[in-house]
Amino acid sequence: MRSYLLSVAVLAITIAFSMWYTNSKEKKVRYVDLIKVYQAFELTNMYEEKLTSLNEEGQRRMDSLSYQISLLDQKKSADELRFLQQTFLQTRHNYNSERERLSGEFDNAIWKQLNQYLEEFSKEKELDVLLGANGTGNVLSGNPELDVTEEAVEYVNEKFNGNIDG
C-alpha cells in the first residue's frame, strides 16, 4: 500500500511539474499584415491582370455597341435602335455579373492559398501562434520585432513559384 501511495505521489508530482513547465514555456507569437501579404502575393497580381483584361474587353464591347446606337439614333431606325439598346443592356449586365463572379472566385482562391501557405510558414518557423493584422482590430498594436510580414511575403511567393518543397 505504501509503494502504491508513493507511486501515486510521484505521478502527481510529475504531472504537476509537466503542467508547470508547459505553462511556463514562452509561447512564440508573431503577426503578419494580411493586407500587405495579400497585395504582394503573386497570385493576386496574376488574377488582377486577368480582371483588367476582362474589364478592357467588356469596355471595348460596350463602347462598340454605344457607337452603333449613336449611329442608329441619328438615322432614327427605331427597331434596330431598340434591339441594340437591349443588346447593350444585356451585354453590360452579363459583363458586370461575370466580373463580380470572377472577382469573388479569385478572392476565394487567393485566400485559400494564402491560408495554406501561412499555416506552412507558421509550422516551418515553429510558431505557436501567427496572428493576422488586417486593420479590423485583430491586432491593435504589436512590437515591430514580432512582425514577420516581409518574411511571410517572401515565403508565400517562393512557395507559389515552386521554389519551396512541401
What are the structural domains, with CATH classification, of the chain? Answer: 2-160 (3.30.910.20)
pLDDT in tens, the chain (166 residues): 555 555 555 555 666 555 555 555 677 888 888 889 999 999 999 999 999 998 898 888 888 888 877 777 666 677 877 888 888 889 889 989 999 999 999 999 999 999 999 999 999 999 888 888 765 656 667 778 888 999 999 999 999 998 877 6
Task: Look at residue 55 in the predicted model and tell me its pLDDT.
Answer: 87
Query: What tens digit of pLDDT does each residue of 45-77 get?
Result: 999 999 999 889 888 888 888 887 777 766 667
Contact 109, 43 (CB under 8 A): yes
Please give the Cα distance from 16 to 115 (Å, whole number): 36
CA angle at 108 for the pair 103 and 114, rounded to the nearest 5°? 125
Look up the pTM and report it: 0.70
- Roughly how many angstroms between the first and final C-alpha of the chain, as a whole number? 54
- Quote the pLDDT of residue 116: 92
